[in-house]
Amino acid sequence: MRIATHNVNGIRAAHRRGIVGWRDERQPDVIALQEVRCPADQLPLEVFGDYHVAYDPGTLAGRNGVALLTREPVAAVRAWGTHALTWAPGGEPTPAAVTTDFTLARQLRGFVAEGRYLEVDLLSNPITIASVYIPKGDSPVAPRDTATARDAQLRYERKMAFLAGFALQLKRARLAAAARGREFLVMGDFNIAHTRYDVRNWRGNQKSAGFLPEEREWFSSVISPRTLVDVMRRLHPEAEGPYSWWSWRGRAFDSDTGWRIDYQLATPRLAKLAVTGGTDKESSYEARISDHAPVVVDYQI
């Protein structure tokens, strides 16, 4: 089973840049998308091809939005809010019949309308799969003028609140999946580079958002050999990267000055079934679909 996650940085832009060609070439069985950033009535539906789709656009115009694409219909859809949509191949987005069999962590209640998390139960395999987009945040320690520093502090605090709640939510989702007899896989843009292997210029980025000590400690707290496993790091234990994000600016892409901030975290039994994985970095700057590359893993299921 081939499973991919991709922050598309706007589905309409990704469509213009060739995401359909990537989809047809790689043929994933499941695709998680983040930053879809499109209202339902403006979606380029041809992007989704013959997949069944669950999508939470949220309510913030032009921001966020997560989706899950599957080859088969799903057994259940779960979302934090009430805005999730589903549709079958050739169909139109309609309100989803959302299963709300969990209690949302208190710290996440302010995020329910933002389109940041969605999960589904696969029909033919006992796996629950989630797509997540964690806030980018900011650094409270980088030098700034007073007003900018205040805004940065608020963004930092907001991300840290999300992380505190999401740690609880990950545990609840994982245990709930186990109670249903299912493995659990959460994928998406975590906006955190976990270790020095996950950012090219790690020494110079220790005060940068996404590589702050407290963010990295949080990441360490949600993975372990008994809870959730970083699948790509299991496949590439001490490799540089493979990076999944490069700035649009300068020559970061050409020099591979990137960050690994897009992940697949799986329960241990599922993680052991991963046989190959990497990022589908485009051949040139001009060929880029997004500032993120898809993270693709093949599982021997």
User: What domain count does the chain have?
Assistant: 1
The CATH number linked to 96 is: 3.60.10.10
Dihedrals phi, psi of 111, to nearest 5 degrees: -110, 0
Q: What tens digit of pLDDT does each residue of 177-207 get?
A: 999 999 999 999 999 999 999 999 999 999 9
Amino acid 283 reads S
CA atoms within 13 A on the CB side of 214: 14
Residue span of the structural domain in which 40 resides: 2-299
Q: Which residues of 58-87 are buried (b: 16+ CB within 10 A; e: fewer)?
A: beeeebbbbbbbbbeebebbbbbbebbbbb
Residue 102: is its pLDDT beyond 90?
no
Residue 145: is its pLDDT beyond 80?
no
Residue 146: is its pLDDT beyond 90?
no
Q: What tens digit of pLDDT does each residue of 33-92 get?
A: 999 999 999 999 999 999 999 999 999 888 999 999 999 999 999 999 889 999 999 999
Region of residue 250 (phi > 0: left; psi between -120 and 50: alpha; otherwise: beta): left
In 3D space, the residue among 123, 141, 108 whose CA is nearest the CA of residue 68 turns out to be 123
Q: Which residues of 241-272 are buried (b: 16+ CB within 10 A; e: fewer)?
A: bbbbbbeeeeebbeeeebbbbbbbbbbeebbe
Q: Locate 27 and state its tokens.
A: 């043929």
Report the mean per-residue pLDDT for the chain.
Answer: 96
Q: Give the per-residue pLDDT at 98.
A: 87
DSSP secondary structure string for all residues of 25-79 = HH--SEEEEE-----GGG--GGGGTT-EEEEE--SSTTS--EEEEESS-EEEEEE
Amino acid 142 reads A
Total residues found in the chain within this entry: 301
CA dist 98 and 116 (Å) reads: 15
Q: Give the per-residue pLDDT at 61.
A: 84
- Asked whether 215 and 198 are in contact (CB, 8 A), the reply is no
Q: What tens digit of pLDDT does each residue of 10-36 get?
A: 999 999 999 999 999 999 999 999 999
Host H or E run for residue 176: helix 146-179
Residue 140: is its pLDDT beyond 80?
yes
DSSP secondary structure string for all residues of 218-237 = HHHHH--TTS-EEHHHHHST
In 3D space, the residue among 177, 181, 125 whose CA is nearest the CA of residue 301 turns out to be 125
- Looking at residue 149, the DSSP 8-state letter turns out to be H
Residue 268: is its pLDDT beyond 80?
yes
Dihedral sign, CA of 83, 40, 169, 185? positive
Residue 149: is its pLDDT beyond 90?
no
Q: Give the per-residue pLDDT at 183.
A: 98
Q: In whole angstroms, what separates CA 259 from the centre of its chain? A: 14
